[in-house]
Amino acid sequence: MATISSHWFLWTATIFLTAMVSQGQLTTDFYDSTCPQAATIVKQKVDEFVDADKGIAAGLMRLHFHDCFVRGCDGSVLLNSTDTTLAEKEALINNGSLRGFEHIDDIKMKLESACPGVVSCADILAMVARDATVKLGGLSWEVFLGRIDGRSSVADEVNTSLPFRTFNFSQLVATFAKVGLDTKDMIVLSGG
Ligand code: HEM
Ligand SMILES: *[C@@H]1O[C@H](CO)[C@@H](O)[C@H](O)[C@H]1NC(C)=O
Ligand SMILES: *[C@@H]1O[C@H](CO)[C@@H](O)[C@H](O)[C@H]1NC(C)=O
Ligand SMILES: *[C@@H]1O[C@H](CO)[C@@H](O)[C@H](O)[C@H]1NC(C)=O
Ligand SMILES: *[C@@H]1O[C@H](CO)[C@@H](O)[C@H](O)[C@H]1NC(C)=O
């Protein structure tokens, strides 16, 4: 009896944990059946934007960085301020400095007409960062997909999540460590 119930417990726990894990798991083929043209649409748009203005590639890559450091890669950097809450994009570090919002909106519109309500804005930012880098001759990487967009964006969180330009080396290392990136990651990403 004890054996049966502990087996039952293990099975239940395993099924429960597997469900939790697979819900949070990103995959490279996430949109293969729901929006097979997603990656192509994003790449074509990025190529077009960067052909028209090389400098925008940097701005687009930076959007992903500034999105991910605040509340994770949830697209929250794209949200606008409301009557009661100042959004991330209006924090001192970002306001008037982040760029490429209209480009992301443009890509989102094209994806919405191709596959309504399927591709998250957070995933668009992740694909765009890769495509912009590749377009300028950088190395490519596989983008894992399936992020869910956040619904809140709070300017004050930018100050406690992103590095300030005045930070010294140890402060920079500590800021990247908070999101699970080590010193080498920080150097490589900053080089990018
Ligand atoms: C290591 C800590 C970092 C600090 C303190 C930092 C700080 C800054 C500052 C102060 C600017 C100029 C903003 C302005 O004058 O408006 C800037 C621009 C920029 N940063 Fe960073 N940054 C860091 C890391 C990164 C990383 C990891 C990336 C991307 C992977 C990145 C991408 C960029 C880009 C692309 C620009 C130029 C944006 C444009 O031309 O639109 N930075 N950064
Ligand atoms: C934010 O506001 C701008 C300007 O009104 C608009 O173009 C953009 O679509 C808005 N973005 C979101 C995510 O609501
Ligand atoms: C962030 O910190 C800067 C510098 O201390 C300050 O001016 C700004 O008001 C703070 N808050 C936001 C939302 O940017
Ligand atoms: C952000 O910049 C815009 C445009 O320059 C300005 O109208 C707005 O007041 C700024 N927001 C903050 C919080 O300073
Ligand atoms: C970096 O700045 C922090 C905070 O101001 C300070 O405590 C630390 O000693 C500084 N580290 C170095 C290596 O300068």
Domain locations along the chain: 2-161
Q: Check pocket membership of 80 for ligand 2, CB cut-off 6 A.
A: yes
What's the rounded Cα separation, in Å, for the pair 56 and 167? 26
> pTM score > 0.85 for this model?
yes
Residue 15 above 90 pLDDT? no
C-alpha–C-alpha distance, residues 41 and 64, integer Å = 18
pLDDT of residue 40: 98
Rg (CA), the chain: 19
**What is the architecture, at CATH level 2, of domain 2-161?**
Orthogonal Bundle (1.10)
- Residue 1 in this model has a pLDDT that exceeds 50: no
Ligand 5: which of 166, 169, 171 to mutate, judged by most atoms within 8 Å of the beta carbon? 171
Single out the residue of 176, 157, 161 nearest to residue 88, CA to CA: 157
Q: List the single range of 14-28, 59-73, 76-90 with lowest mean pLDDT.
A: 14-28
pLDDT at 2 over 70: no
Q: In whole angstroms, give the CA distance from residue 106 to residue 61.
A: 16
Residues 18 and 137: their CA atoms lie apart, in Å, by: 39
What does the pLDDT look like over 151-187, one tens digit per residue?
A: 999 999 999 999 999 999 999 999 999 999 999 999 9
* Residue 103 · residue 95 · CB < 8 Å: no
Q: Are 77 and 143 in contact (CB under 8 A)?
A: no
Query: By alpha-carbon position, which residue is closest to atom 5 of ligand 4?
Result: 96
**How many Å apart are CA 171 and CA 174, to the nearest integer?**
5
Kindly report the protein residue whose alpha carbon is nearest to atom 13 of ligand 4.
90
